[in-house]
Structures are given as C-alpha cells and as structure tokens.
Amino acid sequence: MPFDTPRAKPELELRDVSKQFGDLQALRGVCLRVAPGDSILLYGPNGAGKTTLLRVLSTLARPSEGKVLLNGEDVHSNPAAAKSAIGFMTHTTFLYGELTVRENLEFAGKLFGLRAMAERLSNAMETFHLHERAETMVRELSRGYQQRVSLARAFLHDPQFLLLDEPFTGLDAGSTESLQTLLRGLGSQGKSLIFSTHDFEQGKAIARRLVALEGGRVLYDGPMEAAPLAALKAGERSHGAGARS
Amino acid sequence: MHTLRIIAAIFEKDLRVEWRHRETLASMCVFGLLVIFLFNFAFEPAGEESLRLLPGLLWIAFAFAGVLGFNRSFASERENAALEGMRLAPVDAGAIYIGKMLANLFFMAIAEAVMVFAASLWYNFSFIPALGWFTLSTFFCTLGYVAVGTIFAAIAANTRMREVMLPVLQFPVAIPIFIAGVEASTGALKGDPPGDYASWIKLAAGFSVIFVVLSYLLFEFVLEE
C-alpha cells in the first residue's frame, strides 16, 4: 500500500517498478513517492530489494517494468537533470584507489560541472572531517575513511535527493554521530533523504517515514510512529532464521 | 564546452592513475620489446630481410601490447565500481568513451615509439628516411585499433573471462586495420611513392572515423547494467 504524502506534487516517484535479474525478481511492483523534505528509512532483511531500489532511483539501473519519474518526467528521458538532482552512496565507493582524497573529489566535481570548486571541496572535506587526509591516496585509507570520502562525493554537488545505502558502515562513533546530525538537518533544507540501515534504532532516530521491504515488495510505507514495528522485526527475525536453516 | 571539459578530466585522471602505478605502459612496453627481441633472435634478419619482416612484426607487437593496455585501462574503473561513479554524473557516455580512448591512444603512442626505437637498434634499420609517412600511417591505424580496443575493453570488462574475451572480440573486427597497417608501413619503409599505399592510409582513416563515431554513439548501451 503506497503511502500518500500530503504534498500534491511529488518530486521523485517510482511507479509500479519491477526489476528482474535473470530468474531473480528483485523488485515487484514498487510504488514510492519522495517529496521535498522527506526522510525515509528503507528497512528489510538481506535480499529484500533495498539496494536495487536505491540503484533504480539513482538511474544506475533501469527498471524491467514501470517508471522512475522526476517531477513527472521519466528520468531516462532527461538523465542529466535527474543525475544533477541525485547524490548516491552505496557499498562500492566509486573512488579511485590511486588518486588522493582531494583528487577524487575534484574529479567528481568536474564531472558534475561544479563552479567554485575550491570552496565546495573545502566544505565537503570539512563536513566529513577529511582535511587531514586530503593528500592521502584512497587505497591507503581505512574502510571508515573511504566511507567518509564516498559520502563527501555524494554530497559534493549539493543534490536535492540523497540516496544512501548503509551510510554508517565502517564509521566510528564520532563520525556516526556527526553524520546522524547532518542527515537529521536535511529535511529543514527541503532536501529528501532515502537511506537503508540494518540498525533499526539508528534509522528511527533520523527518519520520519518508514518503507519496509521484503522479497522485493513494499510491506509498509508510512509514518515511522505508526509503523507496526513488532511485526516487521519479527518478520526480519524469521527471515534471518530461514536463511540460516 | 562541458563535454570537452569532461573528456579532458577523464584523460587527465587516466594519466594521473597511470603515473602513480605505471603498470599499463610498463607491461605494454615489456611485452612489445620481448616480441621484437625474440623475432630478432629467431630469424637474425639482415638488410632486405629486415625490411620484409619489420612491418608485420611491429604490428604483431602493437596488437598484443594494445590488448594488455586496453584490459588495464578498465581495471581501475572496475575497482570500487568507479565507472558507475562516472555514470552517476550528468555526463554524456560518449564523452567517457572519448576520454578513455584518448588516454589509450596516448599510452599506445608511447609504447609504439619505444618498440620502433628498439626495432631500429636490434634490426639495424633506420626509420628516419620514411618517418613522415610511416608515422602518418601508424597514427591512423593505431587510432582505429584504439577505437575498437577501447569499446571492446568496456564490453569485456563486464564479463567473467575478460582477459580472454577482449582479444576474441576485438581481433576479428580489427583485421582491416592490421592489414592496412602492415601494407602502408611496408610501402613507407620501402620508400615507395606515397600514392602506392595511400589507399591503405585512407582505409585506416575511414575505419577510424567510423569506429570513433559509432563507439561514441553506442557507448551508453555498453555502460548499461
């Protein structure tokens, strides 16, 4: 059951989206509307379709059926506009190991055609506490630092929609806290956040809306406070037990 | 203008990455030199025989060194899914292709210069009298070969047996380029009038233009998941 936001004109929308990889049906008829200021937690067990959903939203993957719309227009008919509006971070960092942190961000900035590059880089590195490692090659960084650079890359072009797949993976306590603060503040800037995490409590502290997935289907889409949390968590536990047995 | 800046950024990035690890150029040059040295050792050609052997030999070395280079050019893009990172930006896929192709052309040109220099020493053969036409024919043939190699390397990068797949895919398509390269080089090195082998250079130039344009237009579909 898709959740209707109070806003009449959603910005980003998945309309009956299915995605198939060979025999595997990763998404099944997913409908989702993302309005300005939305903060959405994608929640579900492994293989629920969270990453695929984010990849479809990011334009990296084309849906097998259905459409992804930005302001009512198919994102694949005007991909440049959609890509400029979206910042995406996932398990793979999109970084070059042989380039330094600064060079990686500079390269991303050039791809997005950013102006005032020095200021943007400085802001991104300050936000994610990267200044002291700016001249370090990415392959020499720890997983946590690489995650921060990847996040900085996603935020660099100041996108309207932030799609973050497990953004807290590998981060230390301090970085996790500052990222939580940053993500909580996005709504007040009118930016939309869609993220996934396996730590439900962490996600709950940031998101105002929950989209629960299982087997590529949306089980619940609605306000966080109205979510049937006990049932969803029980579902995930039984899925995990099923996967282990 | 934005597209030109993107091409320049990708070209510069590839040069920087190569400068840091020097794997691509080193492997291309070592392999090419080995081929040239082994042929010299096996045939010990002298005088006229060198002239008969060199064009074919050089193009064998260029072809196999190229395969190594093209495979490497997408290795850094596969790591951390950096190529997907480029696809997330509002960038024309064709610009990514041109940037990668120009970087490959640059590496091929350096490797070829090293191989030609080594061949001139080991085979006691001077390229100087024919340098202009030899360079022109080699440029167009290399451009065609790199145009084919870059797009097929991108296709092979998404397959499991990519190192094997690349030569299997690209060599049949590049055969006209190899033939043109050998014929035009033979004519130039023998000192024939340019009119005798100009048709091979024109063939290579035409092939290059067609493949660069086609690849530019089709690269978007190559990058699709």
A190-232 pLDDT per residue, tens: 899 999 998 888 999 999 999 999 999 999 999 988 877 776 7
Angle in degrees, CA B166, B167, B170, rounded to 5: 80
* Residue A3 within any structural domain of the chain: no
How far is A154 from chain B, CA to nearest CA, in Å? 10
Q: What is the mean pLDDT of residues B71-90?
A: 91
Q: What is the pLDDT of residues A112-132, one digit of tens each?
A: 999 999 999 999 999 999 999
Q: What is the pLDDT of residues B166-205, one digit of tens each?
A: 888 899 999 999 999 999 999 999 999 999 999 999 999 9
Domain that includes residue A20, residue range: 12-244
How far is B74 from chain A, CA to nearest CA, in Å? 12
Question: Which single residue is written with the structure tokens 């080991």?
Answer: B122
Q: Look at residue A92 in the predicted model and tell me its pLDDT.
A: 93
Report ipTM (2 d.p.). 0.89
User: Which of B17, B90, B224 shows the shortest C-beta gap to A96?
Assistant: B17
Q: How far is CA A4 from CA A8, A10, A209, B97, in A?
A: 9, 9, 11, 42
* Residue A4 within any structural domain of the chain: no
Please state, in angstroms and rounded to a whole number, the distance separating the CA atoms of residues B107 and B105.
6
How far is A242 from chain B, CA to nearest CA, in Å? 30
Gyration radius of chain B's alpha carbons: 18
Q: Look at residue B25 in the predicted model and tell me its pLDDT.
A: 94
Question: What's the token pair of residue B202?
Answer: 């024109």
* Residue A58 within any structural domain of the chain: yes
Chain-wide mean pLDDT for chain B?
Answer: 93
The CATH code of the domain that includes A150 is 3.40.50.300
Using the beta-carbon criterion (under 8 Å), do B225 and A108 form an inter-chain contact? Answer: no
Q: Look at residue B34 in the predicted model and tell me its pLDDT.
A: 96
User: Which of B13, B17, B224 shows the shortest C-beta gap to A62?
Assistant: B224
Question: Which single residue is written with the structure tokens 């991108």?
Answer: B154
Q: Look at residue A238 in the predicted model and tell me its pLDDT.
A: 63
Please state, in angstroms and rounded to a whole number, the distance separating the CA atoms of residues A156 and B89.
11
DSSP bridge pairs for A33: A13
Q: Which helix (H) or strand (E) holds A117?
A: helix A117-127
> For residues B64-80, b (16+ Cβ closer than 10 Å) or e, as one string?
bbbbbbbbbbbebbebb
How far is B115 from chain A, CA to nearest CA, in Å? 27
Q: How many domains does chain A have?
A: 1
Question: What's the token pair of residue B26?
Answer: 């080193």
Q: Which residues of chain A have a pLDDT value below 50?
A: 1-10, 243-245
Q: What is the DSSP string of A188-244?
A: GGT-EEEEE-S-HHHHHTT-SEEEEEETTEEEEEEEGGGS-HHHHHHHHHHHHHHHH
Q: Look at residue B79 in the predicted model and tell me its pLDDT.
A: 87
Question: What's the token pair of residue B201?
Answer: 């250079």
Nearest CA in chain A to B85: A94
Angle in degrees, CA A60, A63, A64, rounded to 5: 135
Q: Look at residue A236 in the predicted model and tell me its pLDDT.
A: 64
Whether residue B26 has pLDDT greater than 80? yes
* Banded model confidence at residue B50, pLDDT cuts 50, 70, 90: confident
Q: Look at residue B225 in the predicted model and tell me its pLDDT.
A: 64
Q: Look at residue A235 in the predicted model and tell me its pLDDT.
A: 64
What percent of chain B clears pLDDT 70, i.e. is strictly above it? 99
Q: Is A14:A61 a contact under the CB 8 Å cutoff?
A: no
User: Which of A83, A86, A94 shows the shortest C-beta gap to B80?
Assistant: A94
Q: Look at residue A95 in the predicted model and tell me its pLDDT.
A: 96
Q: How many domains does chain B have?
A: 1
* Residue A2 within any structural domain of the chain: no
Using the beta-carbon criterion (under 8 Å), do B89 and A83 form an inter-chain contact? Answer: yes
Please state, in angstroms and rounded to a whole number, the distance separating the CA atoms of residues A9 and A128.
33
How many A/B residue pairs have CB atoms within 8 Å? Answer: 74
Using the beta-carbon criterion (under 8 Å), do A111 and B9 form an inter-chain contact? Answer: yes
Q: Look at residue A111 in the predicted model and tell me its pLDDT.
A: 96
Q: Look at residue A239 in the predicted model and tell me its pLDDT.
A: 61
**Among residues B172, B178, B186, B97, which one has the least CA distance to residue B140?**
B178
Considering only CB atoms, which chain B residues are within 8 Å of A111?
6, 9, 86, 89-91
